[in-house]
Amino acid sequence: MHGARLGLAAAPRRDKKPADERGAKMPILVMKFGGTSVATLDRIRRAAKRVGREVANGYDVIVIVSAMSGETNKLVEFVGETGQFYDAREYDAVVSSGENVTAGLMALTLQEMDVPARSWQGWQVPLKTNSAHSAARIEEIPPENILAKFGEGMKVAVVAGFQGISPEGRITTLGRGGSDTTAVAFAAAFGAERCDIYTDVDGVYTTDPRISDKARKLDRIAFEEMLELASLGAKVLQTRSVELAMRYKVKLRVLSSFGELDDAAGTLVCDEDDIMESNVVAGVAYSRDEAKMTLISVADRPGIAAAIFGPLAEAGVNVDMIVQNISEEGRTDMTFSCPTDQVARAEKAMQAAKDSGEINFHDLVADTDVCKVSVVGIGMRSHAGVASQMFAALSAEGINIKVITTSEIKISVLIDRKYLELAVQALHDSFGLESAV
């Protein structure tokens, strides 16, 4: 997505002040409600009360809704039962319908509260995408239609998330979790003051509270930290939505739909400059379903990495960690990690490459009993010793590290899966994450 195409130039951020006889514009707030937040009519009513409160606070509100919890899975199953090789365009037409139902019910509920509201499907906005059905990318959100309705007195535009329209005029969907991306894109296109993401958790935690009872909710977290945590397994926000928010500097706030109506705490995801001071490590993330694959005794020659990872990419294998070790004269071992459900695909791609003569290796060994544990923090840029502290904490618990990768603000290790919870708790304690700076 490009800034001008999202409508940023057409809809600059507006000051928070009420409309008056001179035609001053209301500020815009984007509120997104996930599937669990709109799972029943009672929950839709509760969400509508939150929207009504923001209208009373002086905002024009764009509400992005997901399908009611479980509905998209049902629709996906229905499509699958029609046949193995289905038309992706019709798949999008079916699975996008869940959001349409929620949008209509939310608009009706707001109208019963005397809040001027109407629902919008993706094609009515229009939210324009490319033609990659079931994995479409947003290309443009012209703001004129919704802004015109705000000018006529509408206070809430309830938009079906997850969906758009292709250049050919067909309904498209953005991939699972696409409603988060929809919300951030609208906030960028309309110059919204903030984008509030309502979900079933009350913010972003230093680690999974189900694993560590010492996990602490963060008041603020930098875009880069949130992006790393999301990509490493934290389920709070969809990765694409965080990427988009970071690019357009959209302030995100993660809130619970189930707290008190006046509870506006949550976690603010913002620019690093908006955070005065933070711990060196912001959080500990993990991914349980990882596999370690090793090509044994590969020819050590220029181009061998491309010969290995090219076929893997073409096969749709998401490679993460990569380690190369010299095994013998002129030979090398190549180790990489990937999701466990892609092991068979990786094995097939490597065997095909071997059969075609592109690569030659002695054996391919897959270890599917590993997991990935990571520490993330922008403070790593200016503090030494994070890696040694991490490794010492794991060593003290008798946990062997199989693979290590690092970036500027992240250190990840592969370990035996049976040690996952122990490792997360040990690292959380070692870096003192239960306490704020």
The DSSP symbol for 259 reads S
Q: Compute and round to an integer the Cα radius of gyration of the chain.
A: 24
Query: In what order do the strands lie in the sheet containing 171-173?
Result: 138-140, 128-129, 163-165, 171-173
Q: Which amino acid is at 257?
A: S
Other Cβ atoms within 10 Å of 407 Cβ, number: 12
Does 372 appear as a known binding residue?
no
Does 328 appear as a known binding residue?
no
In 235-306, beta strands by DSSP E: 252-256, 267-270, 283-299
Q: How far apart are CA 39 and CA 94, in angstroms?
A: 19
Q: Looking only at Cα atoms, what is the longest distance across the chain?
A: 82
Does 99 appear as a known binding residue?
yes
Six token digits for residue 198: 């309502």
Contact of 293 with 365, CB cutoff 8 Å: yes
Does 419 appear as a known binding residue?
no
**Under DSSP, is residue 127 helix (H, G, I), strand (E, B) or coil?**
coil
Task: Tell me the helix, strand and coil percentages in the chain, rounded to 5.
Answer: 35, 25, 40
Six token digits for residue 255: 């809130």
Contact of 416 with 370, CB cutoff 8 Å: yes
Does 144 appear as a known binding residue?
no
Does 248 appear as a known binding residue?
no
Does 35 appear as a known binding residue?
yes
Does 176 appear as a known binding residue?
no
Does 377 appear as a known binding residue?
no
Does 236 appear as a known binding residue?
yes
Does 33 appear as a known binding residue?
yes
Six token digits for residue 290: 């990882």
Length of the chain: 437
Residues 6+ apart with CB under 8 A from 34: 66, 179, 197, 198, 199, 200, 257
Does 210 appear as a known binding residue?
yes
CA 229 to centroid of chain Cα atoms = 9
Residue ranges at the known binding site: 32-35, 72, 99, 199-200, 205, 210, 235-236
Residue ranges at the known binding site for substrate: 72, 99
Residue ranges at the known binding site for ATP: 32-35, 199-200, 205, 210, 235-236
